[in-house]
Amino acid sequence: MSLFNQSEKAYLMLANGQVFEGKSLGAKGTVIGEVVFTTGLTGYQETLTDPSYYGQIVTQTFPLIGNYGINHEDNESARSYVSGYIVREACDVPSNFRSEGNIRDFLSEHNIVGICNIDTRKLTRIIRETGVMNGVITTEDVYADRDGLLEKIRTFSINDAVRNVTNNEILTYTEENPKYKVVLFDFGYKRNIRQELVKRGCEVIVVPADTTAEKVKEINPDGIMFSNGPGNPAENVEIIENIKEIQKLGIPIFGICLGHQLMALANGGRTEKLKYGHRGANQPVIDLESGLTYVTSQNHGYAVIGESIPAEVGHVSHINANDKTCEGIRYTAVNAFTVQFHPEAHGGPLDTAYLFDEFVKSMESEVK
């Protein structure tokens, strides 16, 4: 891929054959992915660097993206994992004291093919009505080999997602005099999960996705975090088998997003693909124990089927206020709780950051 003039045409074609014509944004080329939308008004940099978007072409429903610029501090990972990017209007001249660049240059530097100046409201409506579908963004003539492109679009699938985003080495992060040691499984984790743990006095050992129970036992942590990540949770057969053994260690476990789904699958639950998923910073979640509703940040296309969790294993603790899907599980057979949303918030509301405190308390009680 190479840089090119921002006035050049670009095309988005969906699996149903519908074509949107707009302007190029970012790098030149052709990319295929699963077209999804996110409703966040802010947090576009966190979205672009969230590994959970691996294999997806992301549509921002908010009409203006890039107005506060880009900076190195807000990245949630070392690079961008989106397959492509769609916005209504891109701001080339951001205004913010933290800004170090604009969205167009960021996409170019990360070789992300994007498109702007299309009707994102119409596109979002299509996805909401028909469900997520594959698509292609191209700066070539989309009509030159339309049938060939459609065949590639329709046969595309996201495979080995976790394997493609996890780090294959063990890394340690800490501040002075940590109180606890936490193993953070890297299924495609967001940096702020690590930072929330560190600022609560934890030494965080980030381990590869396929780390075994034997290795965890060797590290001897006070707590275990199963992170967020991309793809179909059910395809991670080896990881699910590892989790079955890891939970037998009796170490407190906290799971987020994909970690929540994998934990459920390891305990006899089932998952399903949602019609268009939950992506954005405004998803309402009800805590069934307190009755309180929290506004949460979310990014997932799959959900745990709440009624599939065996009663002797655990129970649903949180549900989505909109569609009543499972948003959290409290386990009774093992020392664990998991949630489908992002309590580390970036980007999004801070309503549920207390869950990190609860995780620390669970480690504190075990250490005593």
Contacts of 362 (CB under 8 A, 6+ apart): 223, 252, 254, 335
Domain with CATH 3.40.50.880 in the chain: 162-367
pLDDT at 5 over 60: no
Q: Give the pLDDT score at 348.
A: 81
Q: Mind listing the pLDDT tens digit for each residue in 153-190? A: 999 999 999 999 999 999 999 999 999 999 999 999 99
> What pLDDT shows up at residue 368?
55
Provide the pLDDT for residue 346: 73
Q: What's the mean pLDDT in 319-332?
A: 98
DSSP state of 321: T
pLDDT at 80 over 70: yes
Query: Which DSSP category does 306 fall into?
Result: G
Percent of the chain with pLDDT over 70: 98
**Chain segment 125-143, per-residue pLDDT in tens:** 999 999 999 999 999 999 9
Write out the two tokens for 136.
């292609």
- What does the alpha-carbon distance between residue 15 and residue 144 come to, in Å, rounded to a whole number? 16
**Average pLDDT, rounded, for the chain:** 95
Taking residues 19-28, report their average pLDDT: 97
Give me the phi and psi of 51, to 5 degrees please.
-60, -20
Range(s) within the chain of domains with CATH label 3.50.30.20:
9-158
What is the spatial distance between Cα 138 and Cα 192, in angstroms, rounded to a whole number?
33
pLDDT bin (cut points 50, 70, 90) of residue 331 is very high
Q: What is the pLDDT of residues 192-235, one digit of tens each?
A: 999 999 999 999 999 999 999 999 999 999 999 999 999 999 99
- pLDDT tens readout for residues 227-270: 999 999 999 999 999 999 999 999 999 999 999 999 999 999 99
- Residue 361 makes CB contacts below 8 A (sequence gap 6+) with none
**How big is the chain, counted in residues?**
368
pLDDT at 367: 64
* HSE-CB for 122 with a 13 A CA cutoff: 10
Given this model, what pLDDT does residue 350 score?
86
The pLDDT of residue 365 is above 50: yes
* Residue 4 pLDDT: 39
pLDDT level of residue 347 (50, 70, 90 thresholds): confident
How would you class 288 by CB atoms within 10 Å of its CB: exposed for 0-12, middle for 13-18, buried for 19 or more? Answer: middle
Q: What is the CATH number of domain 9-158?
A: 3.50.30.20
Whether the predicted pLDDT of 2 surpasses 50: no
> 47-51, 94-98, 345-349: which has the minimum mean pLDDT?
345-349
For domain 162-367, give the CATH superfamily.
Class I glutamine amidotransferase (GATase) domain (3.40.50.880)
Global pTM reads 0.95
Give the whole-angstrom CA distance, residue 357 versus residue 368. Answer: 16
Backbone angles phi and psi of 151, in degrees to 5: -65, -45
CB contact set of 214 (below 8 Å; sequence gap of 6+) = none
Question: Which residues are catalytically annotated?
Answer: 257, 342, 344
